[in-house]
Homo-oligomer: A and B are copies of this chain.
Amino acid sequence: MRQAAPATAAFVPPRRILMGPGPSDVPQRVLEAMARPTIGHLDPAFQAMMEELKVLLRYAFQTENRLTFPVSGPGSVGMELCLVNLVEPGDEVVVCVNGVFGARMLEIVRRCGGVPVVVQDPWGRAVDVNKVEDALRAHPKARLVTFVHAETSTGAQSDAAALAAVAQRHGALTVMDCVTSLGGTPVLIDAWGIDAAYSGSQKCLSCTPGLAPVTFSERAVERVRARATPVQSWFMDLNLVLGYWGGEGRRTYHHTAPINPLYGLHEALRMLAEEGIEQAWARHRAMHEALKAGLAGLGLQFVVPESERLPQLNAVFVPTGVDDAAVRARLLQEFDLEIGAGLGEYAGKVWRIGLMGHACRRENVEYCLQALQRVLARH
């Protein structure tokens, strides 16, 4: 006796304007690219596209790192892949925590058997470079420093160049989370000397979620090759992934790459190259200024001090007496506008307004301000 076939209708999603912490609005060009015919992951035509993807990602990361590719999983897999490869059991790791994603890195370092040295900073603030230097002085054997460049949970941006310089002075490698920064604000892997970085496809790159661009310096690759213990994850073991993404010649099978989403990422990165990365940074900055002025006019207060603020993720306090969830629900239902809720200790207290990639447009800024004004006025 078989189970009966369920009857379901085709899923036709509503059209939303995505101004939360990601996913951001995906341009029609990217959606159309994703709908092109699927081909095999070992097809020469697909492999030629993979080579272009690597070149386009090197541009986005501003790096010449040979090992630069999109991991077949969301940003969290990119995070875990960087850490499981670069942390060995017993390694001291300086882990900077100033929000949800720094705390997630800490959790993963622990699961890798690393011995974390936590540098804690307040939510809504950048990582304090001096505290990191103190931690490295106190723990001269620390082999790695991990930090979040753009804390998606708070909207704070840390000084990645200074953090990388401190790590280098003390002989430690760096792992940087640039999920929310890549494509929206300068990410200069080579100029800063970052050893490993991961991002996500669905923020300022405006592709659909599900892919995690990563890049590794030669020093990081050597560290992975010189490990005394095997990487605990088979899927994330760079030594194995390298056979598929690393070489320039014939590829060996590792896993079946997510073909169509990679078409989408290729197109999204082409759009970034067409605009020019500096122009994209300038656009995010300009739209942030416009949004900031409007939010001030509505009496909303930013969480992060101006000098540490990310242009693409604007966290503001929910005004006293206002029902967070009710406002977001009305924005979604009446205006098809998504803004983000607070995470962790900011749950119910903060809204996160994203201006990421394709969503970072003048009309979205104005629409969001108008919608917020109307909903708050009726509250």
Interface residues of A (CB under 8 A from B): 2-8, 10-16, 18, 20, 22-23, 25-26, 31-46, 49, 52, 55-56, 58-59, 62-64, 72-77, 80, 104, 107-108, 111-112, 200, 202, 208-210, 230-235, 253-261, 263-264, 266-267, 270, 273-274, 276-278, 332, 338, 341, 343
Contact = CB atoms under 8 A, between A and B. Distances in A.
A42 to B, nearest CB: 8
When all copies of this chain in the complex are counted, the total is 2
The main secondary structure of chain A at its interface with chain B is loop
B75 A255 contact: yes
A376 to B, nearest CB: 21
A208 B74 contact: no
Contacts of A259: 23, 208-210
Nearest to A209: B256
B22 A256 contact: yes
Given A33-B11, A38-B18, A261-B208, A74 B76 contact: no
A80 B235 contact: yes
B36 A260 contact: no
16 contacts: A2-B62, A5-B59, A5-B276, A6-B52, A6-B55, A8-B273, A13-B39, A14-B45, A22-B256, A23-B41, A23-B259, A31-B37, A31-B38, A32-B35, A75-B255, A210-B258
Of the candidates A6, A35, A43, A55, the one having the most CB atoms from chain B within 10 angstroms of its own CB is: A35
Contact of A13 (B46, B75, B273): B46
Of the candidates A11, A112, A264, A267, the one having the most CB atoms from chain B within 10 angstroms of its own CB is: A11
